[in-house]
Structure 1
């Protein structure tokens, strides 16, 4: 077993391991996109908003980016360990949380531009 590889009882088909790594990378890309959105809202976009809503939206995006960044390697390790044990993968709440936060940001941008 190599360094950093989760302990378990049985070998995992490399296709599942690679799929798990692709999922990890997708979460990292999501975090980077959220962070880019935060930078854009805080520093680049001429939204015409006052400082408070602009800061709130930017910090919300940065916060969820941080959560996703921490979640990605934890999930990768956990899934790898579960696959080695042959257990069932549990559902994760983070996709719903991320969807909710991005939806809130979309609503804020729409309302901010209409009002």
Structure 2
């Protein structure tokens, strides 16, 4: 059984290459942010002199946010690419408030740990 739904490089009109490249830069920025969060989580876990499970919790939050962002980057790119090819409005992304809230949570948690330790 074949999938009748066109892929991101099929069907519709070829979008302006500048928009395709902008979409690609966006997904790469999301992946770069995910890598930064992952590296931050590893660094906190290995290097931060936090007592108890505080470092593990903060590192875990970084890693979970990184995984969420990495897992949603490609599907977002694909939806945008397909919408551009079909001449449809660009889809909204739930990841922007999730990423904003996640980074705010990480910042507050790190600040609390600094004050309390």
Say yes or no: TM over 0.5.
yes
Residue 12 of structure 1 contacts residue 84 of structure 1 at CA under 8 Å; is this kept in 2? yes
CA distance in 2, matches of 1:104, 1:49: 19
77-86 vs 5-14, greater mean Cα deviation: 5-14
CA distance in 1, matches of 2:8, 2:45: 39
CA distance in 2, matches of 1:12, 1:24: 17
Where does residue 6 of structure 1 map in the other structure? 9
SS at match of 1:62: helix
Where does residue 3 of structure 2 map in the other structure? none
Q: CA deviation at 1:5?
A: 4.3
- The number of residues matched between the two structures is 110
Runs of 4+ more than 3 Å apart: none
SS at match of 1:88: coil
Residue 42 of structure 1 contacts residue 58 of structure 1 at CA under 8 Å; is this kept in 2? yes
Q: CA deviation at 1:64?
A: 1.1
CA distance in 2, matches of 1:65, 1:26: 12
5+ residue gaps, structure 2, are: 1-6
Where does residue 21 of structure 1 map in the other structure? 24
5+ residue gaps, structure 1, are: none
Q: CA deviation at 1:77?
A: 1.1
CA distance in 2, matches of 1:61, 1:8: 38
